[in-house]
Amino acid sequence: MKKIELEIVALSHSLAQTQNYAIVLGESEGVRRLPIVIGEFEAQAIAVAMEGMEPSRPMTHDLFKNTLSGFSIEVKEVVINNLVDGIFYANLICILNGKQTEVDSRTSDALALAVRFGCPIYTFEFILEQAGIILEEETEREVQKAKHRRSDKTKVKTLQENSAEELENLLQNALDSEDYEKAAKIRDEINNRKN
């Protein structure tokens, strides 16, 4: 079965389930979107990694990544491989000493690890047919913008790599968006530099 590459295009509160979040994956070479409801903890884990933030102590997904890396296990890709009764299933495709192994995973955890390992995310046509959507405002221009973003991908800066002025701007943006946890981490980095 041919795999279809996806990328994370949005992460937001779920409108259907107030205690949960929705992560929206989009086709790399198309306009279909795959919304997946995930828990608050997993949403936070994905957001922290996407923002390039480094917590003072490792979060659970960081610990798992560090453990895998410590044993020279590489996560090559994440495959969302099934959809049963509205529940998505995923596998981590891992490599150890040249041998490939598939590890069953909750989709939200697999996505949190994909962001940390910088590995591709795939699914299959039947899943996009069942659960994929095409947003009305999606146009060819949006597809081109997504392609451009992919071609311009650069390493996300960690907080330590930002200048003092960039940190002040990040802090203001975090406060404006009421992301107080992120703001606290940025403030800590600013204070560390002053000391």
In terms of residues, how long is the chain? 195
| pTM of structure | 0.68
Q: What are the pLDDT digits (tens) for 63-89?
A: 999 999 999 999 999 999 999 999 999
Q: Is 94 within 8 Å of 77 (Cβ atoms)? A: no
d(CA 195, CA 189): 10
In the predicted model, is pLDDT for residue 106 greater than 90?
A: yes
What ranges do the domains of the chain cover?
A: 3-156, 158-195
Nearest to 107 by CA among 33, 36, 34, 15: 36
Beta-strand relationship, 32-38 and 87-96: unpaired
Looking at domain 3-156, which of 3.40.50.920, 2.60.120.10, 3.40.50.720, 3.10.690.10 is its CATH number?
A: 3.10.690.10
Here the tokens at position 169 are 């701007």
Nearest to 4 by CA among 76, 116, 75, 79: 79
**What average pLDDT does range 126-139 have in this prediction?**
80
* Poorest-pLDDT segment among 10-14, 68-72, 87-91, 116-120: 10-14
